[in-house]
Amino acid sequence: MPFQLNDAKAHLKEHGWCKIPSVLSTDEAAAVLDRLWKAKEEAEKRGEDTYMPLIDPNPSNIRVFYLLELDPIFRDLIANPTAIEMVKSVLGESFLISNFTANIARPGSQSMALHSDQSLVFPEPWRDVWAVNVIWCLTDVSKANGATLYIPGSNNYVSRRDVPANARELLVPFEGKAGDIIVMDGRVWHTSGANVTADQDRALLFGYYTAPFVRQQVNWTAKLPREIQDTLSPEMREWLGLNPLGNVGVAGDLRYLSVQYPEDDAVVAK
Ligand SMILES: O=C(O)CCC(=O)C(=O)O
């Protein structure tokens, strides 16, 4: 039976994640990986660190931030129609692109902190889903080469107190093939896996989208060069928060008071 996106959406809603196979062909994934290595070189040339001791235990994890300014291929991926359809299924029509980063786990890499992505951008309680990650597999991903590990059911945790003391024993890998995407809602608790292979890289991209009232992790207006901003579609400008107006009227009612609460004629006459 052909893959049904609606089944994936239902799985995402219930379990907090889903996998969509072959959004990219194997060749396309390999081409993106090649561009990622070039982006890593370019980021380093620009003086940006690709090892972050704050989050990764050793330099075998290679982080590339600000993908959107490094290569147009990443601007295409963040706006990929399948990815956007999944994002809208969680967040609705209106959302922001908070971040787009890469984590290449090379042999010897170790796990970062267990966290949920929502917990990084606003305080508990996390009663609703206001964030979603689209994870692009650029290589085959297995437990051995450092697949992202997650706790099944953790999409229902409302507070840090809900994370069990034996969290480490509950972790399960998101395995996949190069070209698959894994969509994970912002409440799922997860970490990077350890890459215990001798010679396999595990390369993932993380497209992070949030509800429009959550401050983005990157201020794209400040970060993206003007020449790039000027090439973007009106839709992308809105998703990146580049337009002059930001957080206005999300769920507000701005009708005049006299319309919202018409005066009672009898009261006025008195
Ligand atoms: O690389 C991974 O598997 C997870 C990365 C992650 O969760 C993060 O960078 O916040």
Q: Where are the domains of the chain?
A: 5-269
pLDDT score of 267: 60
Q: Does 106 contact ligand 1 (Cβ within 6 A)? A: no
pTM of the predicted structure, to 2 decimals: 0.95
C-alpha 42/C-alpha 211 separation (Å) is 31
- pLDDT score of 270: 54
Q: Provide block-wise average pLDDT over 10 residues at a time, the chain (270 residues).
A: 90 98 98 98 97 97 98 98 98 96 98 97 96 98 98 98 98 98 98 98 98 96 97 97 86 89 72
Encoding tokens for residue 137? 């597999």
Q: How far is the CA of 191 from the centre of ligand 1 (A)?
A: 6
Pick the CATH number of 5-269 from 2.60.40.180, 3.40.50.2300, 2.60.120.620, 3.90.960.10: 2.60.120.620
Buried b vs exposed e over 102-113: b needs ≥16 C-beta within 10 Å?
bbbbbbbbbbbe
- The pLDDT of residue 55: 96
pLDDT at 242: 97
**CB proximity list for 42: less than 8 A, separation 6 or greater:** 70, 71
Q: Is 154 in the pocket of ligand 1 (CB under 6 A)?
A: no
Please tell me the predicted confidence (pLDDT) of residue 3.
84
Question: What does DSSP assign to residue 206?
Answer: E
Tokens found for residue 201: 């890289």
Q: Where are the alpha helices (DSSP H) in the chain?
A: 5-15, 26-45, 67-70, 72-78, 81-91, 167-170, 220-223, 226-229, 234-239, 257-260, 265-269
Q: What is the pLDDT of residue 252?
A: 80
The finding on whether 217 has its CB within 6 A of some atom of ligand 1 is no
C-alpha to C-alpha distance for 47 and 30, rounded to whole angstroms = 26
Tokens of 82: 């399948």
How much is the pLDDT for 269?
Answer: 56
